[in-house]
Amino acid sequence: MLKTPASPLRFDRLLLTGAAGGLGCELRPRLKAYCDKLRVSDINALQPPQDAPGEEIAPCALQDAQAVMKLVEGVSAIVHLGGVSTEQPWEPILAANIMGVVNLYEAARIHKVKRIIFASSNHVMGFYRQDQVVDAKSPPRPDGFYGLSKAFGEDVAQLYWDRWGIETVSIRIGSSFPEPRDRRMLATWLSYDDLERLVVACLTAPVVGHSIVYGTSDNQASWYDNTHARHIGFRPQDSSDIYRAAIEARQPVLDRQDPAVIYQGGGFVKATPHG
């Protein structure tokens, strides 16, 4: 966990959705340094904080519009990690990632929340090949229902910026784990510390409109060009390269005919969303 600056920009109340998920659990203690109150929400059970005065626990199903309206009341900004995060049949993705994101933005409009950090995904671009480099202006090529739902969420963010002036940074998160797991993740890995740096930069950049940024560490191999997101001020400080030798020793040969090797989405391009 990063050492918090002596005088960070602070928010009265931040909302973290998806707080029981993998990245939510990681960000939950980190975000407390940047706000007076942290409201945490998930459809799954959340454990009470052990040492977190000012933390508020607010369970909520994103497809429940009334519950989301109540959830968003009184918050200064939202870090939206909630929703389905893997390839699934359409129905749960429709409920959480399509209906849920519209409910969230409508609640933000009603309650005059001016900035949302939206956890998008590299899977918005999953059917680009691994020998291509994409940027924020490259047309989406989702690799499944999950990636499609995140592309939809980015479009919702653009609409609410254009029409109602709600700012969003859509973070196309790569692969955020304690360390990269395979050779694909040498290009997509995002350390937890760099995840924190990125979210804080997105929350505190003076002006973002609707911006798209790729969420990866400073990896030697990369398919993502963040030129159009330089105004956000994200400077990753970690790299997958320290794991390269060990990963290449474990995975010395790749099947060049395997779609998971050909395309940036990896295994998601082969996932069967119909159950």
The answer to whether residue 105 is catalytic is no
**What secondary structure, in 3-state letters, does the chain show?**
CCCCCCCCCCEEEEEEECCCCHHHHHHHHHHHHHEEEEEEECCCCCCCCCCCCCEEECCCCCCCHHHHHHHHCCCCEEEECCCCCCCCCHHHHHHHHHHHHHHHHHHHHHHCCCEEEEEEEHHHHCCCECCCCECCCCCCCCCCHHHHHHHHHHHHHHHHHHHHCCEEEEEEECECCCCCCCCCHHHHECCHHHHHHHHHHHHHCCCCCEEEEEECCCCCCCCECCHHHHHHCCCCCCCHHHHHHHHHHHCCCCCCCCHHHHECCHHHHHCCCCC
> Distance (Å, rounded) from C-alpha 150 to C-alpha 152?
5
The catalytic position among 105, 146, 160, 263 is 146
- Catalytic positions are 146
